[in-house]
Amino acid sequence: MYDVITVGSATIDAFAKTEAELINIKTSKEEEALIAYPCGTKILINNLDFHTGGGGTNTGVAFSRLGLKTAFLGRLGNDSNADLILAELKKEKIDFIGMKGKIQTGYSVVLDSIEDDRTILTYKGANSNLVYSEIKKSKLTTKWFYFSSMIGKSYKTLEKLAVYARKKGIMVAFNPSSYLAKAGTKFLRNLIKNTTLLVLNKEEAKYLVGHNPDIELLKNLSVLGPKIIVMTDGKNGVLVLSDRTVYKMKANKVKIKETTGAGDSFASGFVAGLIYKNSVEFGLNLGMANASSVIKRIGAKNKLLTLNEATKLFWKNSKITKQKIK
């Protein structure tokens, strides 16, 4: 029996540090920050780092380091990048219960700006070819599934796994990306209605249920089916709706090096808190500690915390407010 099986992407990530500038574009509805590069020129890279990434392996490593028995279900290519990913999974004591194929392993280029935020260019590759009929169901003995964002055949597989989970009494956490959220509630309905925990950022929440005050966003999302809604909001912290109670926690004030993996590290910490103690507050503390550690370094897994390391950080910022709602 696994504590959690992560289902999602696996990539090799190239982190390119440049002197890219930020520009702000205003529309009638919102203001958006864009990373800008001049056309027709060669851009020098100041620093280049390579790490493994992808929502499936990022969260898998996070869960394993927090002491949970973990497996990763995904699809890799039959190439050297897949070998690197499998070697890291083995090192991190994560079972690989997915499959390999002819399509190239996923790859991402992470472009940093002068303010240490980033834009990611992603090649999905094998990640979009996870087929439900090829999964060995005998290996799906777990308390929780954690679904990260997937597209193509793999998204259809998530839908079927969510139905399987409901029949087997397995909890499901789902973390959609912005491009899935933009597809709308009609597209995501069959997956979200079988989800126990929906975790997303505020921008993604607005794509799904419109521009509303925070509490209304949470309430509107809960109507879709999940018992627990987690909505992150960058430097402003995080809100959770569970059992008609809204929990709010401010973000830790840390020096940000790079934000890739912040969402994965927080979400996996939060789910781990539910697995260990069935406690929203414990989950908030675990998630915040994990995310605060990761964003101080380059790489989505650097440095994910052990349970002991995370709990030592609780007391530095453990103020959580609660509010009952109708």
Question: What pLDDT is recorded for position 292?
Answer: 82
Residue 109 pLDDT greater than 80, yes or no: yes
Query: Among 28-37, 41-50, 92-101, 178-187, which stretch is predicted with the lowest mean pLDDT?
Result: 28-37
Contact yes or no for 24/33 (Cβ under 8 A): yes
> Distance of CA 289 to CAs 29, 74, 216, 253, Å?
34, 27, 27, 11
Q: Average pLDDT in the 251-258 region? A: 68
Question: What pLDDT is recorded for position 116?
Answer: 59
Q: Average pLDDT in the 210-223 region? A: 95
Question: What pLDDT is recorded for position 110?
Answer: 86
The percent of the chain in helix, strand and coil, each rounded to the nearest 5, is: 35, 30, 30
- Is 48 domain-assigned? no
Residue 117 pLDDT greater than 70, yes or no: no
The enclosing H or E element of 145 equals strand 142-148
Determine the Cα–Cα distance for residues 265 and 293; give it in Å rounded to an integer: 9
CATH number of the domain to which 67 belongs: 3.40.1190.20
> Distance of CA 317 to CAs 254, 257, 269, 310, Å?
11, 20, 15, 12
DSSP secondary-structure letter at 116?
S
Question: pLDDT grade, residue 251 (50/70/90)?
Answer: confident
Question: pLDDT grade, residue 18 (50/70/90)?
Answer: confident
Contact yes or no for 325/246 (Cβ under 8 A): yes
- Is 68 domain-assigned? yes
- Is 308 domain-assigned? yes
Question: What pLDDT is recorded for position 30?
Answer: 73
Residue 223 pLDDT greater than 90, yes or no: yes
What phi and psi values does residue 270 have, to the nearest 5 degrees?
Answer: -65, -45
Q: Report pLDDT digits (tens) over 184-201.
A: 999 999 999 999 999 999
Question: What pLDDT is recorded for position 300?
Answer: 56
**Residue bearing tokens 């279900």:** 73
Question: Which conformational region is residue 184 in: left (phi greater than 0), alpha (psi within -120 to 50 degrees), or beta?
Answer: left
Q: Torsion angle, CA of 62/65/289/31, rounded to 10 degrees?
A: -10
Residue 111 CB partners (closer than 8 Å, separation 6+)? 16, 18, 20, 35, 118, 119, 120, 121
Question: What pLDDT is recorded for position 115?
Answer: 67
Residue 79 CB burial class (10 angstroms; 0-12, 13-18, ≥19): middle
Question: pLDDT grade, residue 260 (50/70/90)?
Answer: low
What phi and psi values does residue 230 have, to the nearest 5 degrees?
Answer: -115, 120
Q: Report pLDDT digits (tens) over 129-172.
A: 999 999 999 999 999 999 999 999 999 999 999 999 999 999 99
Question: pLDDT grade, residue 316 (50/70/90)?
Answer: low
- Is 114 domain-assigned? no
Calculate what percentage of the chain has a pLDDT beyond 90.
66
Average pLDDT, rounded, for the chain = 90
Tell me which amino acid residue 175 is. Answer: N
When divided into structural domains, the chain yields a total of 1
Q: Report pLDDT digits (tens) over 22-45.
A: 788 887 767 878 888 888 888 889
Domain region containing 241: 2-12+53-106+119-324
Q: Average pLDDT in the 52-77 region? A: 95
Q: Which two tokens stand for residue 55?
A: 């929502």
- Angle at which helices 202-209 and 185-192 pack, to 10 degrees? 110
Integer Rg of the chain from CA: 19
Contact yes or no for 24/9 (Cβ under 8 A): no
- Beta strands 245-249 and 320-324 are antiparallel
Residue 97 pLDDT greater than 80, yes or no: yes
The enclosing H or E element of 215 equals helix 214-222
- Is 224 domain-assigned? yes
Residue 120 pLDDT greater than 90, yes or no: no
- Is 83 domain-assigned? yes
